[in-house]
Amino acid sequence: MVVLLISVFLICLVLRFPIAFSMGIACLAYLLFEGIPLIVISAKMYSGIDVFVLLSVPGFILAGNLMNHGGLTDKIISFCNHLFGHLTGGLAMANVGSSMLFAGISGTAVADTASIGSIMIPAMKKEGYDSSFACAVTACSSTVGPIIPPSVPMIIVATLSGLSVGKLFLASASAGLLLGLGMMVVAYVISKIKGYPKQARSSFIEIIKGFFQAFWSILMVFIILFGIIGGAFTPTEASIVAVLYAVLVGIFINNKLSLNKLIEITIDSMKTSASLMLLIGFANLFGWILLIERLPQEMATGILDITQNKYLVLLMINLLLIFIGSFMETIAALMILFPILLKVALAVDVDPTHFAVFAVLNLMIGLTTPPVGVCLFVASSVGKISVAEVSKSTWPFLFVSLLILTIVVLFPSISLWLPDLIYD
């Protein structure tokens, strides 16, 4: 009765239930209808989150919040402003650059949109940028966050596939940088066309000073990335190192964190982590039901029955992921679809690490795909304008995102050269 499961799930989504509860209610309806003991709910939810590497997720969420409240986000933005502010549309380019740097701290697109957007959107509006453009830049550049390591979605992929987290981080880095640079080009071209302002050129001394102010943020990324790759610590241990590092920098270097603020940040991070773990637990239960109904096998067989041409299969996978990513939360989409589609990709000789990179990239693009992309709602809320207005300004950025996606899919070496170089 997989039809019942999917129907209840879709009805709950239409009724605007949170996606975790939508999956939970759908699973409950299925289990009651089939007469399966409800004890399976707790068993499958627990097995879904009882994965060592998943312990890193709350750590990275807490580290991101600590760095944001510890004043390092401001310093990243200031440094990027020194680098790009003198160009036409420099503030928009600084917005993208800030997202690329902040990505190494937060690892999640929504966190990036909210934190960077709360500073950059008002600043861009004040400088004379259209509100819709400011929001669109912020929302679209936030999709770089989960591509550039450390990446929460990549950690989820590692738990689902058994792939090395270090290899996934390295493979996603090149695609993330390419995506960020592409968005900078779009921001520059649009700013030229619309005549957006530029600021006075920063002196070399100001740029160096800005770098040293942002140094502690940049250093954190390198500690995490090279610590994992070098085998100094596991991803879970890396997240704890990141938290300790963020606390020390926030208290002793930036003097921004107090005991009361630490408690507040910790509680907020616990809420975020709990909601994410609940989502992962329900997604594991949902995926188990799909498995016993043999939907993954049937879907894989169905795709391969249509065609076994590698590029046509990749086209169908990409279209499906972008569509799903436009209305489903990234982690839930990965939990449900990644194991299914990985089997299809392996059947047409696609490298699993390469597949992981473009699968996550697809879902990130979905976060800013109108009309229901989650990051569009966050950006419009910060910018105090309608989602429709933001959506109109996202199309150039979506176009370049799809172009980068196509390049990444067609040329696996873009994703694989760095992990091959380091690990081989």
**Percent of the chain at pLDDT exceeding 70:** 93
Listed ranges 97-106, 110-119, 280-289, 372-381; the one with the highest mean pLDDT: 280-289
Sequence-ordered alpha helix ranges (H) in 15-130: 19-34, 39-49, 56-69, 72-84, 90-106, 109-127
Residues 29 and 77: their CA atoms lie apart, in Å, by 48
The interaxial angle of helices 109-127 and 131-141, nearest 10 deg, is 150
What six digits make up the tokens of 32? 């009651």
pLDDT band at 378 (very low <50, low <70, confident <90, very high): confident
Residues 330 and 315: their CA atoms lie apart, in Å, by 20
Burial of 292: CB neighbours in 10 Å, binned 0-12, 13-18, 19+: exposed
At residue 316, does pLDDT exceed 70? yes
At residue 154, does pLDDT exceed 60? yes
Neighbours of 222 (CB within 10 A): 10
pLDDT band at 112 (very low <50, low <70, confident <90, very high): low
Neighbours of 352 (CB within 10 A): 16
- Give the predicted TM-score (pTM) of the model: 0.76
- Give me the residue spans of the domains in the chain: 53-274+294-423
pLDDT band at 211 (very low <50, low <70, confident <90, very high): confident
Average pLDDT over residues 405-415: 91
Residues 61 and 403: their CA atoms lie apart, in Å, by 30
For residues 284 and 335, the answer to whether their CB atoms sit within 8 Å is yes
Q: Is 157 left (phi over 0), alpha (psi -120 to 50) or beta?
A: alpha
At residue 100, does pLDDT exceed 80? no
At residue 403, does pLDDT exceed 90? yes
At residue 92, does pLDDT exceed 80? yes
Residues 35 and 179: their CA atoms lie apart, in Å, by 48
For residues 178 and 421, the answer to whether their CB atoms sit within 8 Å is no
Give the tens place of pLDDT for each residue, 138-147.
Answer: 888 888 877 8
Sequence-ordered alpha helix ranges (H) in 326-412: 330-347, 352-366, 374-383, 387-410
At residue 215, does pLDDT exceed 70? yes
Start-to-end C-alpha separation, the chain: 47
At residue 213, does pLDDT exceed 90? no
DSSP codes of every residue in 269-338: HHHHHHHHHHHHHHHHHHHHHHHHTTHHHHHHHHHHHH---HHHHHHHHHHHHHHHHTTS-HHHHHHHHH
Instruction: Quote the mean pLDDT of the chain.
Output: 81
308: Cβ–Cβ under 8 A, 6 or more apart, which residues? 347, 348
pLDDT band at 327 (very low <50, low <70, confident <90, very high): low
261: Cβ–Cβ under 8 A, 6 or more apart, which residues? 69
What six digits make up the tokens of 150? 């450390």
DSSP codes of every residue in 204-269: HHHHHHHHHHHHHHHHHHHHHHHHHHTTSS-HHHHHHHHHHHHHHIIIIIS----HHHHHHHHHHH
